[in-house]
Amino acid sequence: MSAVGHRASRHRTEIMADRHTGYFQHHNALVESPNIGRDTRVWAFAHVLPGAVIGKDCNVCDHVFIENDVVVGDRVTVKCGVQLWDGIRLEDNVFIGPNATFTNDSFPRSKHYPEAFEQTIVRRGASIGANATILGGVTIGEGALVGAGSVVTKDVPAYAVVVGNPARVTKYLSSPEQDGVSRTTSVEDCRIVELPKIPNEKGNLTFVEGGRHIPFDIRRVYYLYDVPGGEMRGGHAHRELEQLLVAMSGSFDVVLDDGREKKTVTLNRSYFGLYVPRMIWRELVNFSSGSVCMVLASEFYDEADYYRDYSEFLSAVETIG
């Protein structure tokens, strides 16, 4: 048989295997797991152990090693030279760049094994750049981006961009579109932002930089104080405006409502902020004595941006949704 004929025959064999299993496996790949989703592609010299679970429409590139206790979601890309060890969980639409390194044991010793390996989770839509190192036990938040070569030593917030060694938040991304369809805003888009805290024996310092620590430029700052016991502030939503709420002193609760579900967040630390995107109804309640709420806003005051009537807000949510 000619070289061309041999290649054509081998190609036909691979296509037949694809029809039989539902996924593509390069003839130089070793796939021992029966749990591989449809339309997934496993390329040359990749090795998948028997216990691994890989979703549909994934791309597992050359020289990837996937251990037993690994779960990979749908539409995940794992570039060349990546090892996924026991305890790794990759949710849907995750991208892992070439030679990114995961760990699962904080104190490794040869021939000594922990009772359980640390679990590392990469949430939906997150991306990890080339040569980044992810320490065991951390969670990379939804839509987050880890810069190339960064060393991640602690959890990464949703939609944060982190770079450096150790990796630090440089900015936040707006919530991305999912699968080409814009998502309606939900209470799940509201999140706690940990602000920088510089300790000093003479007093701590915290600062906020628009576009870096929060996903918008700051146009307006105001604060609420001397709120009588039992009073409620807020009671509105914004068409476009985004906010960060910080308890500068004392504590209070923020009731968040997207028209479908509600959740309550307690703010009681001056270095924690609550990010509230557009189209979220918010109410501030349970103010402690002497509490101060600082609000950083993405726009100047504009009464036309407010929904002050809850039924009108609900009608707008139904129209958008």
What gap in Å lies between CA 214 and CA 200, rounded to an integer? 24
Catalytic residue among 26, 63, 236, 238: 236
Tell me which residue of 245, 252, 248 sits closest to 230, measured CA to CA: 252
If you ran DSSP here, which 8-state letter would residue 12 be given?
Answer: H
DSSP SS3 for 89: strand
What gap in Å lies between CA 153 and CA 139, rounded to an integer? 10
Between β-strands 272-276 and 243-249, what pairing exists: parallel, antiparallel or unpaired?
Answer: antiparallel
What gap in Å lies between CA 173 and CA 156, rounded to an integer? 13
* Amino acid identity at 61: C
> In the beta sheet, which residues pair with residue 306?
238
Contact (Cβ atoms closer than 8 angstroms) between residue 58 and residue 76:
yes
Contact (Cβ atoms closer than 8 angstroms) between residue 83 and residue 64:
yes
Q: Is 236 part of the annotated catalytic residue set?
A: yes
Enumerate the active-site residues.
236
